[in-house]
Each structure stands twice: as structure tokens, then as C-alpha cells.
């Protein structure tokens, strides 16, 4: 009989459906930080924990279920966290398949689903999936209560079935003292030395061979802003909570010294926010002189008031990339999104200041926002081409569960995808929102045109070759050879 209290599963066999042929060489394979953080917390409470990274192992749902049955844990925790809250929903199709496969094996392991999507739609998840429990919220106290065998009514943030009835308790407050309560990350339960985790290709344009030396990490949770399309608040709330700089640097020490990591993606919704947090981290990195390559999220309006010396310090520490949410070039659309109050001149100034510091961008743009027309989308594409960031991420507007926009479109009865895979931006089943004047097909067609035109632009390719070398240019050119197929476009 197994003595394993819980097996935390990172869902696998999703990349082909979510990224199509881009998954072969161009998408990232990230270590599941949230599963490792949860494992570290539960192990500290005295439980026997392991992680099954089915995504890393490229296991399909039947193979994953067989492994769960072999290990025979008391509980199987499916941890539904992806690169962002806004990209988590497409995983739910595979999650549902895995739950059914585990039940079909006859395993007595009780299935728990936790993460961004189930937190946003806990009752629907309980009704739709063959799971025993759903956890709403960050999940640490809920897992602890279940493993302690507390009565369900005493486990915070828990959803369960009592006959035909679905019951739940109030979700707990989010953890305040991250440094002490969430002190351990179970990196040792992940195959960190395998060389098969893989950084985003754009993040490593200067050294594509280093992509396997990769990790992702949170240094803070939450975001104080109110972008209507973002689902982050449903789980993490609007208050920014941070681990101490010393904790962050200790984790980086482990990643470098024990696992030879070179590239680190900071997952925080907004890393460049509080100088009291990011400056000591940057200074500690400079002292260590590891020669690391970082990417971190940043906002235009925050960067606009960030002193140039801070940008230079971050660059010296290895922050070569910011993931910048530009989203739209239209100020009226921007205001309606609650995104901020700044125009093109501010964006130009911020981008040029970062260029001056030696920092480039993976910049986010969204087509088909409420109020978008052919003209505003073309203006956004023209503006993106003017800024000439090394790697834009072109999205279509989706109503992600947990976002304000999702509540709005559900209330209005706007058609949404029939399956969770319909939320996958690069997937065959993708169905974006319409606008007042554009159909979903018109929006996705423009997005795919913009992607192709941007990355085939000689001005962009010349910049890539000048800054990152011939191999980087050829990598980008190889990426554009993969045309996404779309059901909505008749492919």
C-alpha cells in the first residue's frame, strides 16, 4: 500500500491542441512552479508529497491516469496553473479527460482540482468534472485540511458533493506572510536537471542553445490594477504581496547552483512595481554575478515613472526582457478597459527609454477589444510595427473566466466557445469575442495576418540579426513557416 499522501499533477498532452505545430520548437515548457510551491508547503506540514509533471513527460491522459494508479496516493491534486491566469482555461478539456481516466482505472485516490480556472468557476467545475473536490483560492490551507482528514465543513475554500447536492465552505483569506508560510519550493521533486524544460524562444534569442536551462518563479502575488480582460484578481486579489528579496535570491541561488539554470521567467503579474522589492533583488544579482537572463512583467505607466538608473540597474542584473502590456493604441478603448490613461507618446517614451537601457520586449497587443474596428486594429498593427519590439504577442479578445469581461458577456448572452479548448489563442478550435462591428472570424483573421506580416518585415528581421545574430533571424523565419489552422476560418 502506498504511503503517498498526495500526488500533485501538472496536466500533460495539451501543447499540440493549444499551440498546434508551434509547440514543436517555439513554445516554452515551464517547470510547474505552483505545484512545486504547494508541494513545499505540504511537505513542511509533514505530509508525503510527490509531483507528476505529465506535461514535461509528454504523457497523455490515459498514461497519466495509469501512473496515478501505480503510485496510489490518498489524494490526486490536479494543479491547473499555466503561464498566466488568462491562459489557464484551455487546460480544462485535458483536466476533464484526466479525471475520467483516473476514475476508469478503479483508483481509490480522491481527485482534487485547484488553480486559476476552478477558482473562477468552482461550482461549474464540480458539476462538469469527475472530481471529488474543487479548491477555490490559492489552495494551501484547503489541501492541508483535506490531508489532515478534517470534516469537509471545516476545510476552507472546499467544494464537494453530498449526494446530489454541491456544498462548499468560505474560501480563506490569501496568505499574507509569503516568506515564512510559503518558505519552501520543492524544486527537487521536478526533473530540473533533465535539460527538457525550455524557455520561450524570444527570451533566448541571444543564446538559443541555453533554452533548456530554464525556470519560472513568482516573487510576488496580486495586482492593484483593474484591467477588465484579466482574470488574476479571482485568485490573487488586488493587493500585491511579496516574498522578501532574501527569499527570492535564495531560490535563485538554488536554481543556479543545484540546477545550472540560466534563464528565469518571473511570473509576477507586475514585477517592476515597488522599488523596495525589485531593487534589492537586482543588487543581490549583481553581487552574485551569475550572468543570468531574466524576463519580467511591467506596465507602461509604471515604467514611465521608473527612474532611468533603475532600468540600468535591472539591465545590469540580467533583466534583458520585459513583457509589456500595451494592448491597444486607442485611448478611448484603453479607458473602457480600465487599463490606464496614457497615449502613444507615453508608450513611445517608455519603449525608447528601455531600449536606451538595453532592454527589449515581448509586447502584448489585443485585437477585437470592445470598440475595435478594422481601422483601430490596423492602427494598432501600424503602431506595433513602429515600435519594432523584438517579439510582440498578438492576441484576440477573450472573456476569460474570472475576469470582469467574462461576467459582462455572460450577462449579455454573447456566444462563447463550446469547449474549453476554444479559449486557446493558437488552437484550431479558437473562438474570440466579436466586436460591435466585427465577427470573431474577422478578428482572428486580422490577428493571424498581423503576426505573419510583423515577423516577415525586413525591418524587424534586420533588428533581430543586428542585436542577436544570424541564428536568431533564421529562428524567427522558421517560426513564420508554421501557419495556424483555424476551424472558424474553414481550415
- Does residue 106 have a pLDDT over 70? yes
Regarding predicted confidence, which is higher, 194 or 242? 242
> What pLDDT was estimated at residue 334?
86
Question: What single-letter DSSP state applies at residue 9?
Answer: E
- Does residue 27 have a pLDDT over 90? no
* Whether residues 131 and 256 fall in one domain: no
Distance CA 402, CA 208 (A): 35
Query: Is residue 346 classed exposed, middle or buried when 0-12, 13-18 and 19+ CB atoms within 10 A define those classes?
Result: middle
pLDDT per residue as tens digits for the range 367-393: 999 999 999 999 999 999 999 999 999
Other Cβ atoms less than 10 A from the Cβ of 356: the count is: 12
Residue 185 within any structural domain of the chain? no
* Whether residues 163 and 195 fall in one domain: no
Residue 150 within any structural domain of the chain? yes
Contact 78, 134 (CB under 8 A): no
* Whether residues 201 and 313 fall in one domain: yes
- Does residue 348 have a pLDDT over 70? yes
* Whether residues 305 and 443 fall in one domain: yes
CA distance readout (Å), 258 to 172, 183, 213, 250: 35, 18, 12, 12
* Whether residues 200 and 333 fall in one domain: yes
- Domain limits at 300? 191-397+432-489
Residue 176 within any structural domain of the chain? no
> What pLDDT was estimated at residue 207?
95
Across 156-185, average pLDDT: 96
CATH of the domain at 245: 3.80.30.20
* Whether residues 231 and 96 fall in one domain: no
> What pLDDT was estimated at residue 341?
78
Residue 178 within any structural domain of the chain? no
Residue 404 within any structural domain of the chain? no
- Does residue 1 have a pLDDT over 60? no
* Whether residues 227 and 347 fall in one domain: yes
pLDDT per residue as tens digits for the range 299-338: 999 999 999 999 999 999 999 999 999 999 998 988 887 7
Residue 323 pairs in a beta bridge with 297, 362
Which of 115, 133, 168 is at the close of a domain? 168
> What pLDDT was estimated at residue 24?
60
- Does residue 184 have a pLDDT over 80? yes
What is the domain count for the chain?
A: 2
- Does residue 237 have a pLDDT over 60? yes
At residue 347, the 3 state secondary structure works out as helix
pLDDT band for 17, please (50, 70, 90 cuts).
very low
> What pLDDT was estimated at residue 85?
66
Average pLDDT of the residues of the chain: 93
* Whether residues 162 and 283 fall in one domain: no
Residue 282 within any structural domain of the chain? yes
* Whether residues 156 and 205 fall in one domain: no
- Does residue 28 have a pLDDT over 90? no
C-alpha cell at 258: 543545484
**% of the chain residues with pLDDT over 90:** 86
pLDDT per residue as tens digits for the range 79-91: 998 767 678 899 9
* Whether residues 339 and 212 fall in one domain: yes
CATH of the domain at 113: 3.40.50.2300
Strands 263-266 and 214-217: parallel
* Whether residues 256 and 124 fall in one domain: no
At residue 59, the 3 state secondary structure works out as coil
- Does residue 290 have a pLDDT over 80? yes
Residue 347 within any structural domain of the chain? yes
> What pLDDT was estimated at residue 99?
97
* Whether residues 154 and 200 fall in one domain: no
Residue 422 within any structural domain of the chain? no
Amino acid at each position: 500500500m502506498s504511503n503517498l499522501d498526495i500526488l500533485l499533477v501538472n496536466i500533460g498532452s495539451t501543447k499540440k491542441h493549444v499551440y498546434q505545430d508551434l509547440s514543436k520548437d517555439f513554445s516554452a515548457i515551464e517547470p510547474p512552479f505552483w505545484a512545486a510551491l504547494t508541494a513545499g508547503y505540504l511537505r513542511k506540514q509533514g505530509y508525503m508529497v510527490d509531483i507528476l509533471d505529465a506535461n514535461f513527460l509528454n504523457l497523455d491522459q490515459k498514461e497519466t491516469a495509469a501512473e496515478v494508479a501505480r503510485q496510489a496516493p490518498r489524494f490526486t491534486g490536479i494543479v491547473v496553473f499555466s503561464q498566466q491566469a488568462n491562459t489557464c482555461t484551455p487546460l480544462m478539456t485535458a483536466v476533464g479527460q484526466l479525471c475520467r481516466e483516473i476514475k476508469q482505472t478503479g483508483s481509490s485516490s480522491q481527485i482534487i482540482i485547484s488553480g486559476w480556472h476552478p477558482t473562477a468557476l468552482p461550482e461549474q467545475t464540480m458539476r462538469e468534472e469527475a472530481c471529488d473536490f474543487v479548491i477555490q483560492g490559492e489552495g494551501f490551507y484547503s489541501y492541508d485540511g483535506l490531508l489532515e482528514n478534517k470534516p469537509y465543513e471545516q476545510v476552507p475554500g472546499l467544494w464537494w458533493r453530498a449526494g446530489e447536492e454541491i456544498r462548499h465552505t468560505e474560501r480563506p483569506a490569501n496568505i499574507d506572510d509569503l516568506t515564512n508560510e510559503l518558505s519552501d519550493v520543492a524544486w527537487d521533486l521536478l526533473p530540473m536537471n533533465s535539460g527538457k524544460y525550455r524557455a520561450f524562444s524570444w527570451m533566448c534569442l541571444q543564446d538559443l542553445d541555453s533554452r533548456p536551462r530554464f525556470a519560472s518563479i513568482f516573487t510576488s502575488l496580486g495586482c492593484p490594477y483593474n484591467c477588465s480582460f484579466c482574470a488574476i484578481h479571482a485568485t490573487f486579489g488586488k493587493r500585491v504581496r511579496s516574498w522578501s528579496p532574501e527569499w527570492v535570491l535564495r531560490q535563485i541561488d538554488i536554481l543556479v547552483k543545484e540546477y545550472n539554470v540560466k534563464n528565469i521567467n518571473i511570473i509576477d503579474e507586475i514585477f517592476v512595481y515597488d522599488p523596495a522589492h525589485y531593487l534589492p533583488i537586482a543588487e543581490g544579482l549583481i553581487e552574485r554575478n551569475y550572468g543570468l537572463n531574466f524576463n519580467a512583467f511591467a506596465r507602461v505607466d509604471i515604467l514611465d515613472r521608473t527612474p532611468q538608473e533603475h532600468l540600468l540597474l535591472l539591465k545590469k542584473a540580467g533583466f534583458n526582457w520585459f513583457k509589456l502590456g500595451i494592448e491597444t493604441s486607442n485611448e478611448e478603448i484603453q479607458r473602457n478597459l480600465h487599463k490606464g490613461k496614457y497615449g502613444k507618446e507615453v508608450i513611445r517614451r517608455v519603449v525608447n527609454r528601455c531600449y536606451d537601457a538595453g532592454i527589449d520586449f515581448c509586447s502584448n497587443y489585443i485585437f477585437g477589444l470592445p470598440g475595435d474596428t478594422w481601422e483601430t486594429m490596423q492602427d494598432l498593427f501600424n503602431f506595433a510595427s513602429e515600435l519594432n519590439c523584438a517579439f510582440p504577442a498578438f492576441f484576440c479578445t477573450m472573456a476569460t473566466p474570472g475576469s470582469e469581461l467574462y461576467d459582462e458577456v455572460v450577462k449579455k448572452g454573447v456566444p462563447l466557445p463550446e469547449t474549453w479548448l476554444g479559449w486557446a489563442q493558437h488552437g484550431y478550435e479558437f473562438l474570440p469575442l466579436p466586436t460591435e462591428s466585427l465577427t470573431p472570424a474577422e478578428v482572428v483573421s486580422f490577428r493571424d495576418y498581423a503576426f505573419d506580416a510583423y515577423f516577415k518585415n525586413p525591418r524587424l528581421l534586420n533588428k533581430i540579426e543586428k542585436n542577436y545574430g544570424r541564428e536568431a533571424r533564421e529562428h524567427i523565419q522558421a517560426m513564420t513557416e508554421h501557419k495556424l489552422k483555424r476551424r472558424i476560418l474553414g481550415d
